Chain A
Amino acid sequence: MSLSLQEVKRVAWLARIEITDAEAEAAQGHLNGIFKLIEQMQSVDTEGVAPMAHAQDVAQRLREDRVTETDQHALYQSIAPQVEGGLYLVPKVIE
């Protein structure tokens, strides 16, 4: 398989990364090289093999249902690009 320039731009949009035409062309070459490597996976029959999502086969821990976090919004917001009145500011979404 190989990715078209259009597909590279679509994936960049899905990833929310602005990409210029020149960058998309460079990325296309690199990505197609990488996918050629990845295609080697198709050489092995994995019929009936259970997918392994995780290194340790353990169940998710449960915890007691009580508040453990303290309010640190002032500390955490002190490093935000733009805040006002305890809120993160972003461009207007709804007119």
Chain B
Amino acid sequence: MLNATVKQLSLQLAQKKVSSAELTQFHLDRIARLNPELNAFVTVDAARSLAQARAADAQIAAGKAQPLTGIPVAHKDIFCATGWLTTCGSKMLANFVSPYDAHVVERLNAAGAVTLGRTNMDEFAMGSSTETCFWGPVRNPWDRARVPGGSSGGSAAAVAARMAPAAIGTDTGGSIRQPSALSGICGLKPTYGVVSRYGMIAFASSLDQGGPMAKSAEDLALMLNVMAGFDARDSTSLERPAEDYTRLLDASPMGDRAKPLSGLRIGVPKEYFGAGLGSDVGAAVEAALAQFERLGASRVEISLPNSALSVPAYYVIAPAEASSNLSRFDGVRYGYRAPEYTDLADMYAKSRAQGFGAEVKRRILIGTYVLSHGYYDAYYLKAQKIRRLIAQDFVDAYGRCDLIMGPTSPSVAFGLGSMSSDPVQMYLNDIYTVSANLAGLPAMSIPCGFGEGDMPVGLQLTGNYFAEARMLQAAHRYQLATDWHLRQPAGVE
């Protein structure tokens, strides 16, 4: 059970080799044992999870099972779920019990998945290390002195330490892909608009997208089949026919079993292999690219000339949207209210000063400044123009290739506290991930080897709009030929 994928567990449940109640209890026991040190989960409610598991078992017994029926899934603490404490990693929402379900949560519930608990995260998803949480930092299961990446670091650590077979996360600038890379698991950010943002606490609405995190590409496809879908309550949700993201997994375009990826053109951007990339990460990524070539894919050298501007533009656009989104936290309708204040303005200012942590305040200040009178054109409008240039770079590149591959993150997981004092250094970790959010493209990370300190390295695959199935196919074929994704950290047996 420990190393089984969602796909394998689903089969075992269908064959009644294990019940969902047993599977859920198995993972709850692991959480009880491992979580005190890793801090990946912030809320666990065994009775609630087990009740869902028994209901799933009844569905299975009645012959009404769907692929995720009875599978325990850990939820990032950013998805509103009725009756669950939904804190978004913040003191501001430390007492917030959601009165409604996010669309993604509704869909997982309807599919019979079991909510295994709520995972720790950077406060309001602002961070690349899962250290800015009100509930304390998460530790990387591969080396407990290091960070798991962020902001979905709790979800990544939960899957890596085999406390959950799968998890859900959100990605505004890399928050699914970077922790997946640093924790040695798989994670996918879909095309913007594919997964509804309804009930997902907003950070930067034009960039936010929910997605799955799991051990294999095949599992991501199964999860995305449930998570994706139109929802009228999200004004940016796309009305598209339902898609089976597993449909290409076993397809081989040329029918050649030895070279199942023949015809696939992989674009390798030269800008992703320059100064700033760790040599250990570069070597693992090059080895992965060679493996894809052995599987029949061809390699095309491409250029994304405006890559270096993606971090500066992102750190204008994301904080600008955040400063607007987070203005709702005012101590009036829900969340934290300061115990003492003199008048209404003082109540707002004190509630927000006491309820938000340092990184969240920093980003609200950046956003407020770039949107303030006299600075809008120089910063926000300029960043939006650069966003267009970055998106156009991808349009040009996809004229020459089908998928783009490169590193997910410039280094393996770094030490806890090693970047906390310098926000700019922390932001530069997002160099390879933010472009996909700015352009709205689907992107994923899969394990592809180990680097410094025997820490996992992630390979990033970026697809054209709605190319999730193609990305998943390529990743799945790679995973049939390699076993990086099945490695597990020592000490979690």
A: residues with CB less than 8 A from B are 3, 7-8, 11-19, 27, 30-31, 33-44, 46, 49-56, 58, 60-61, 63, 72, 75-76, 78-82, 88, 90-93
Contact = CB atoms under 8 A, between A and B. Distances in A.
A44 B307 CA distance: 12
A15 B323 contact: yes
Interface string B335-365: 1110001111111111011001000011011
Contacts of A79: 95-97, 99, 334
Contacts of B384: 51-53
A55 B315 CA distance: 16
B372 A11 contact: yes
Contacts of A7: 369
B347 A14 contact: no
Contacts of B192: 55-56
Interface stretch (B56-64, B108-116, B231-239, B453-461): B231-239
A17 B232 contact: no
A41 B99 contact: no
Given A37-B315, A51-B385, A44 B306 contact: yes
A13 B330 CA distance: 14
A60 B235 contact: yes
Contacts of B438: 52, 55
Contacts of B362: 27, 30-31, 34
B424 interface: yes
Nearest to A61: B235
A33 B439 CA distance: 26
| Residue of A7, A27, A55, A76 with most chain B CB atoms under a 10 A cut-off | A55
A3 B369 contact: yes
Contact of B440 (A31, A41, A56, A93): A56
Interface of B: 95-97, 99, 192-193, 206-207, 232, 235-236, 238-239, 306, 308-309, 311-313, 315-316, 323, 327, 330-337, 341-350, 352-353, 356, 361-362, 364-366, 368-369, 372, 379, 381-389, 391, 422-424, 427, 437-440
Contacts of A61: 232, 235, 239
Contacts of B206: 53-55
Contacts of B323: 15
B158 to A, nearest CB: 27
A21 B16 CA distance: 64
B441 to A, nearest CB: 8
Contact of B315 (A14, A34, A46): A34
A17 B365 contact: yes
A49 B337 contact: no
Contacts of A58: 193, 236, 238
Contacts of A38: 312, 315-316, 379
B382 A56 contact: no
Contacts of A76: 99, 333-334
Contacts of B337: 81-82
A23 to B, nearest CB: 8
A72 B82 CA distance: 14
A17 B315 contact: no
B394 to A, nearest CB: 11
Contacts of A18: 346, 349-350, 352-353
Contacts of A91: 341-344, 346-347
Contacts of A82: 337
Contacts of B334: 76, 79-81
Contacts of A75: 99
A1 to B, nearest CB: 9
Contacts of A3: 369
A67 to B, nearest CB: 15
A90 B447 CA distance: 51
A19 B335 CA distance: 20
Closest 8 CB pairs of A and B: A55-B440, A51-B384, A46-B385, A55-B192, A81-B337, A18-B353, A52-B388, A18-B349
Given A79-B96, A93-B344, A50 B235 contact: no
